[in-house]
Chains A and B, each alone.
Chain A
Amino acid sequence: MATVHVNGQAVDIGTEKLNLIEAADRGGVFIPHYCWHPALTVVASCRMCLVEVGDTQPDGSVKMQPRVVPACQTPAKDGTVVVTNSERAKYAQAQTLESLLINHPLDCPVCDKAGECQLQDYTHKFGRAESRMIDEKFAPPNKPNIGAQIELFTDRCIMCTRCVRFTREISGTAELLVNHRGEHAEIDIFPGQPCDNKLAGNVVDLCPVGALCSKDFLYKQRVWYLKSHDSVCADCSTGCSVHVDENKDILYRLRPRENPLAQGHFMCDEGRFGFHYVNSKERILRPQLRRDGKLIPATWEDVLPALRRDIAQAVKQDGSAVVAVLSPFLTCEEGYLLARYFKSLSGEVRLALGPVPTVGEDDTYPKDRHGKPVEPVKFTIRAEKCPNRRGVEEVLRHFQGEVIGFDDVVRLSGEGRLKAVYAAAGYPPRPGGWVSAEQAAALAKTPLLVVQDILPSPASALAKYVVPAVSFAEKEGTFVNHAGLAQGLRRAVKPPAECHTDGQVFLDLMERRGLVHAPTIRAELARDVPFFAPLASGTIDALGVMLK
């Protein structure tokens, strides 16, 4: 057992290998740092974490080192003494900040990072209020083409090299480098080789100042207007924990949320920039029903009873000819409600899993310079481009013991053997779409085709009823990722005015009163389906719960 003394307070760090920043953090003392990041190697170049350090001698006396040392580079040992609030340590921090600000342009009003900038925050907490710099600042030109999604504001850079180390250690693609030396040092790329790897967006989050900015978010909002919600990325089965940032119910950006159980510190660009369909103008905004061969907008008051009647009629004719398709984009709660609704009509109703979009192979990082994956794997972009196949499959297995594939539904429908198909889709728009024109034509041979989706598709064009679905950012629920980690979705934005959440539609179909409340339904799900038993309390904390 090792004990570290942080500002006179004893902190037990057990047997873990920590540096002094982490050890002090355990004691509730924050040591400012720029270049150090828990997922990257230590370079101790920014000098922001300078502290006074000493060792406890065998006789119990403390011997302090004669100078301040970087906390990120100093391992915490038994008896290490850290002092961050002495005059000398404070002076070192203020001096470091002043030196970092020598060439910083202080264009905070037009900088996209302002409000979440560590240079601002630390200057406020640890620095001095006024600049003594009177000479002209060194202002190298911006590099707008450093990557397809990122722009470098060269003059704001403080040379912490987090971005350079990220491309070398995590993505392994090593596009970024430090060019020139001393005051003239700049982040740069090799000529004609922009930073376009699939994890490139992370350098924007890593950048502690406003040097690297995301072109997607640039000048869209000031960050102090944004409200952040903890959620889960819905773009692949890794299920990265994310912050969903919105203002006035418009989604502006996704940022990775550190979660060692899910993905670590980062997220991929497909997920990060793939949310724009949530704000799309093309969305299905209200329920529609087919009358005289044409889809016409209708109200929920008209559609829900008609839908209930038509489904009940189809089930009465032949229960086994009614199929509900549950997409892997549904939350576990929604899948459970829909399965319960159909199974309550008749035990013969078949439940199928919607198409599981798969693109290529699992893409692991880091890569070597030939693009081949290198062990140990630090980040994986899964080939399975849906967040909740496992969760929906477990629900299906519980209700009917087996999982019927979407292809079987299309085949049966094409042969004209089905009476009704309820496709709860909710797919985001991705190349190829979830249903091809041929598959849609085959589905349309079923007399009662209900399509619940976010955006129009070939299937919704041929459906008898079209019901709006909502995206991951607009609903609450649980996603189970590839490894069986159940994570909670939180509602970040309101769905468009006339859209009801999928869970609410299913509740209304069941004629169960009240509004959908994810924790309640989660508790019911945990009670009924043994796989979800660890969720019995109904609540899921920020990191999620590992199921089996």
Chain B
Amino acid sequence: MPIKTEDVKWIETPKLGVLDHLYLPAILEGLKTTVFGHMLTPNITVQYPEVQAKMPPNYRGVHRLNRDEEGRVKCVACYMCSTACPAHCIDIVAAPSPWPDREKYPETFVLDELRCIYCGMCEEACPVDAIELTTLHVLTGLSREEMMFDKEKLLSVFDQTVKDGTDPIRTSAGRLGPASEQPKQAPVPGQPGAQP
């Protein structure tokens, strides 16, 4: 479709004055951005690896398996994460749980950190907020086997990130009916936490 003639706007390039022909005001304008906009503001580059960058809390790094209040693995082995995973990197073996308040738990939970594409679908699929991606982004290993994170390793990532304060516990929700955790004691009116 051709452009209609009434839509075409003709503009002239502005005429340069004498001062503009010196280019000095433009150079000074640029130097102002350099000096005040960057040289005198705090540095955002870090001297990696001596200094580790602090990632925003929604950064998708190494996974962790959360623990509930009693320190047990929160996962109920529902396979939602491994079903959602586009890289098929999560392998779960479920078993009847040893605890009375839930039906099943993961006997083994292996996540292949090398195969993972860090999309965060597992986190989104989890009905009990058991798997989360942390801000840990430095992940090294000497063998492929080492990068297959099992349940203990993933729980230790939780312990470490909570202790270091890099990724505090984000949610204590995770009520999946009676499957996840026992209903908390009803709050006493007047006490903190009570609903108005």
Contact = CB atoms under 8 A, between A and B. Distances in A.
Interface in A104-129: 105-107, 109-111
Interface stretch (B7-15, B19-27, B72-80, B113-121): B72-80
Contact of B78 (A109, A137, A139, A155): A109
Contact residues on B (Cβ < 8 Å of other chain), bracket: 10 to 19
User: Which interface residue of A109, A139, A155 has the most chain B CB atoms within 10 A?
Assistant: A109
A109 B76 contact: yes
Contacts of B30: none
Nearest to B183: A136
A110 B103 contact: yes
Given A218-B96, A219-B95, A106 B177 contact: yes
A107 B127 CA distance: 10
A105 B76 contact: no
Interface of B: 76-80, 83, 94-96, 102-104, 127-128, 176-179, 183
A107 B83 contact: no
A110 B78 contact: yes
A109 B80 contact: yes
B83 A222 contact: yes
Contact of A107 (B77, B95, B103, B183): B103
Interface of A: 105-107, 109-111, 136-137, 139, 153, 155, 218-220, 222, 224-225
B94 to A, nearest CB: 4
User: Which interface residue of B127, B128, B178 has the most chain A CB atoms within 10 A?
Assistant: B178
A111 B103 CA distance: 8
Contact of A105 (B78, B127, B178, B183): B178
B83 A105 contact: no
Provide the main secondary structure of the chain A interface: loop
Contacts of A153: 103
Contacts of B96: 218-219
User: Which interface residue of A111, A136, A137, A139 has the most chain B CB atoms within 10 A?
Assistant: A111
B124 to A, nearest CB: 14
Contact of B177 (A107, A219, A220, A225): A107
B83 A109 contact: no
Given A105-B177, A219-B94, A110 B83 contact: no
Contacts of B179: 105, 107, 109-110
Given A109-B80, A110-B179, 8 more contacts: A107-B178, A109-B76, A109-B78, A109-B128, A110-B102, A219-B77, A219-B104, A222-B78
Given A219-B95, A222-B79, A224-B83, A109 B176 contact: yes
Contact of B77 (A110, A139, A224, A225): A110
The 4 tightest CB contacts between A and B, nearest first, are: A109-B78, A219-B94, A107-B179, A105-B177
Nearest to A111: B103
B186 to A, nearest CB: 10
A106 B127 CA distance: 12
Contacts of B103: 107, 110-111, 153
Nearest to B96: A219
Contacts of A139: 178
Contacts of A155: 178
A321 B96 CA distance: 57
Contacts of B128: 109
A139 B183 CA distance: 13
A222 B94 CA distance: 10
A105 B175 CA distance: 11
B101 to A, nearest CB: 11
A365 B35 CA distance: 94
A224 B79 CA distance: 10
A139 B177 CA distance: 10
A133 to B, nearest CB: 11
Given A219-B95, A219-B104, A107 B176 contact: yes
A381 B96 CA distance: 32
Nearest to B126: A109
A224 B82 CA distance: 12
B131 to A, nearest CB: 13
Contacts of B94: 219-220
A101 to B, nearest CB: 12
